[in-house]
Amino acid sequence: MFNNKTILITGGTGSFGKKFIKILLSKYNPKKVIVYSRDELKQFEMQQIYNAPCMRYFIGDVRDGERLKQAMRGVDYVVHAAALKQVPAAEYNPMECIKTNINGAWNVINAAMYCGVKKVIALSTDKAANPINLYGATKLASDKLFVAANNLVGDRDIKFSVVRYGNVVGSRGSVVPFFKKLVENGAEYLPITDERMTRYWLRLEDGIEFVLKNFERMQGGEIFVPKIPSMRVVDLAKSIAPDLPIKVIGIRPGEKLHEVMCPADLYYDTIEFPDHFVIRPSINFAKNIDYTTNALGEHGHYVDDGFDYSSGNNPHFLTVEELKEMNDLL
């Protein structure tokens, strides 16, 4: 699908962007791959590794709509990964988070429509479902913008969808490198905010494969949610330092005990497929779409009344041994 196509990824120098490009180049022969990000040092460092003839590097901010239009000329597919993601930082700097995550999303949508892009997938987060923090609220607003954008395209052949998933093992901001550094520095304990806390746990490679697959599945307007395992934070601590005690330090600003990806309030819009869920749009588009069958011909069914998909009630929890195996791969 991506052979001889031009792909742009916003926030392309982050954990997701670098791994996405590595996998994309190993599986396909794209015409161009455009990294759009604002950090010149990260771009310089990335150019030393990803220097194939198809690679292009654009310095720019998603807050700058005109620069996005320049970067998207001739682009077929866009992955929107740029965001301010740190929950406590967003609580203390709310307007900066809004400018990037909401205004930036709108700029990506406008640039994609202006330049005739074919498909756009925006990355979301479990924190966008029933949000209690500002980061989650901005990502929910972003999700709504990308879903509603399908009503703005007119007769243009462009589709917008969203991929929502949970915590990525070892990504920038992940607790795993933090715990490992504490152990290396001789810490006497590992800090845990709450012993009951659970999180979804996803390998970065699996998240990228899910995004790539959804470019084939998408019809426009869906929020794709993968079926992924959960983990207990206390088990994660044991998998990294089994002999080290834990210390409960209290919940951080904007933090939840459990994360949700498919809220119970949206059970009537939630469709279950063998390895993922789809939350269909709550609004009607000009074109009637049956979301129980996707563009690949895969069939799903609506979930039961009151269904919700939470890291706390997930049927699949990783064991300490499984967590250790995942940590060892980092």
β-strands 270-272, 276-279: how paired? antiparallel
Give the pLDDT score at 286: 76
Assign residue 223 the CATH number of its domain: 3.40.50.720
Q: Could you report the per-residue pLDDT of 42-70, keeping only the tens digit for each? A: 999 999 999 999 999 999 999 999 999 99
Answer yes or no: is pLDDT of 194 > 90. yes
What's the mean pLDDT in 271-279?
98
Q: Which of 296, 248, 300 is nearest to 278 (CA)?
A: 300
Whether 246 is covered by a domain: the verdict is no
Mean pLDDT of 140-161: 95
pLDDT of residue 172 exceeding 90: no
Residue 155: per-residue pLDDT: 85
Q: Is the pLDDT of residue 130 over 90?
A: yes
> Are 312 and 257 spatial neighbours (Cβ–Cβ below 8 Å)?
yes
pLDDT digits (tens, 9 = 90+) for 302-317: 999 999 999 999 999 9
Query: Is 178 a domain residue?
Result: no
Bridge partners (DSSP) of residue 190 are 246
Pairing state between β 260-262 and 32-37: unpaired
State mean pLDDT over 97-116: 98
Alpha helix stretches (DSSP H) within 8-72? 15-27, 40-47, 65-71
Tell me the β-bridge partners of 198. Answer: 232
Asked if residue 239 belongs to a domain, the reply is: no
Residue 106 structural domain: 6-167+201-228+260-311
pLDDT at position 48 is 95
Distance of CA 137 to the CA centre of its chain: 15
Residue 251 lies in a domain: no
Percentage of the chain beyond pLDDT 90 is 88
Per-residue pLDDT at 40 exceeds 80: yes
Per the CB < 8 A criterion, the answer to whether 128 and 139 are in contact is: yes
- 194 occurs within a structural domain: no
> 55: which residues sit within 8 A by CB, 6+ positions away?
21, 32, 33, 35, 47
What pLDDT is attached to residue 326?
A: 86
pLDDT exceeding 70 applies to what percent of the chain? 98
Query: Which of 94-103, 138-147, 166-175 has the weakest average pLDDT?
Result: 166-175
Question: Which of the residues are catalytic?
Answer: 127
Q: Is residue 247 part of a domain?
A: no
Q: What is the mean pLDDT of the chain?
A: 94
- Looking at the 3D structure of the chain, how many domains does it have? 1
Is 241 within the bounds of a domain?
no
Residue type, 146: F
pLDDT at residue 329 is higher than 70: no
Does the residue 253 lie in any domain?
Answer: no
At 184, give phi and psi (nearest 5°). Answer: -60, -30
Residue in 277, 266, 258, 296 with CA at minimum distance from that of residue 127: 258
Q: Is the model more confident about 155 or about 103?
A: 103
State the pLDDT confidence band at 254, using cuts at 50, 70 and 90: confident
How many residues would you count in the chain? 330
Say if CB 69 and CB 115 are below 8 A apart.
yes
216-237: per-residue pLDDT in tens? 999 999 999 999 999 999 999 9
